[in-house]
Amino acid sequence: MRDMALFVMMLALVWMAWRKPWIGVVGLALLGAMHPQSYGGEWMSRFPVYRVLFLVTCVAVVVDYWRTKRYPRLFWDWRLAVLGLLFAYFALTTQFALLPDTARGRLFEVGLLFPPLLLTLWLTDSREKLHYLIVATAAGIALVALKGGYWAVMTGFADRVYGPPNSQIGGNNEFAVALAMTIPLLVLWLRQTRDRPLRWTIMAAITLCYVAALTSWSRGGLVSLAAMSAFLVWNSKQKYLAILLVASGVAVALVNLPEKWHARMETISSYEEDQSFQSRQEAWRQGLSYVQRDPWTGSGFEGWRAVTAKFSGRGDPRTLDWHSAYIEVLAEHGIPGFILWGTLLAGTMLGLTRMISRGRRSGESWLVDYGAMLRAALVAYAAGGLTLGITYWELLFQLLGYSLIALRLSTDPGEPRRKPMAAVAS
């Protein structure tokens, strides 16, 4: 039954993508966030739903342009050059990888993230389309959070919540960070609609995302959630009300979460004595030590398997994964790779900050809303990446793409004179 429902869903997305290719991009955003095939049976769980929709969208784009002779307006942004250089450097470091076969396989997987991203950048040429892209990503993860939040409440918050199986956000730690990145997108959606029932639905989704993130029992997720929440409060139009809501939420969480949860979170302040953190410190030390020996090309993709075994002398180094996006990109791609990756992330957040300032000076509220919420989502990623190896996340590149589109539209002289998205969404 689930397989049939998923198959019908795929056919509907394919049909809409064929009629309007940009809807195919929205469908890709939904599938990439929700991973519905992970919940299917044996047949649909192995069916390449995402790739089928991507290929149909590409063909639809070609047919549409051939028929109408109308081509999309291309744009340039220095971050696109950095993105291209980053992938090129990934390919270079793969040639010098400690585990060449493994690295080539990983390079192929990471490379698959770029065609949908380029298609998204190509076809999204208006604020309305960007709005629906963001809604698709937020709704996709929120639907998974609905399942997790319900399970958390039914079990008295005693069991951990996980993301979609066999996905990048399947683990409890990764899912918690993904939820922290999704909450600002939901807040942005909330700000862009005036429909009262929809607003209540979004607010319920935000609450469930917080519940599911806390019930993941992830310490890294808690740090990511706290950093993101601080930015939400800072950019809130009613700061005192936001502070009151956060304080009330914290109080409710402290009362209802079990003692084991509190004991686990308390280890954040006593990390020197925590065995898990000590293991991560060891991996970080070994990664930094390797960078000192090979600062230019690093160990290549999945280099931790060789580096940790070499430095620790352990036969099974699986417990010494990098456990940090920063150490991961530095150890695997050297200092140049780290600079390119860091420039892309920090440069995008800086651009969004300038976009917020420009919006406040001009009185264009959409510039402030989009800039602040996309920046808060990237802050959640940056905080979560401190203790999780999430360098090559699809969700990260999606948010970077959305940010580039927003930055492009913010410099479009005609964009501020369009109808407010609140009116469009309602």
Q: What is the pLDDT of residue 224?
A: 92
Q: What is the pLDDT of residue 178?
A: 94
Q: What is the pLDDT of residue 1?
A: 66
Mapped onto helix, strand or coil, the DSSP state of residue 16 is: helix
Q: What is the pLDDT of residue 239?
A: 72
Q: What is the pLDDT of residue 424?
A: 40
Mapped onto helix, strand or coil, the DSSP state of residue 270 is: coil
| Cα–Cα distance measured from residue 185 to residue 142, given in angstroms and rounded to the nearest whole number | 10
How does pLDDT run across 359-370, given as a tens digit for each residue? Answer: 999 889 999 999
Residues of the chain with pLDDT under 50: 311-319, 416-426
Answer positive or negative: Cα dihedral of 120, 121, 124, 128: positive
Token pair 């793969």 is at which residue? 94
Q: What is the pLDDT of residue 247?
A: 76
At residue 188, what is the residue type? Answer: L
Contact 72, 122 (CB under 8 A): yes
Q: Which residues contact 141 (CB under 8 A, 6 or more apart)?
A: 33, 34, 169, 178, 179, 182, 209
Cα distances (angstroms) measured from residue 31 to each of 49, 84, 111, 149, 399:
8, 25, 18, 20, 15
What distance lies between CA 283 and its chain's CA centroid? Answer: 24
Pick from 349, 408, 392: which is nearest to 374 by CA? 349
Question: Both ends of the chain: CA-CA distance in Å?
Answer: 33
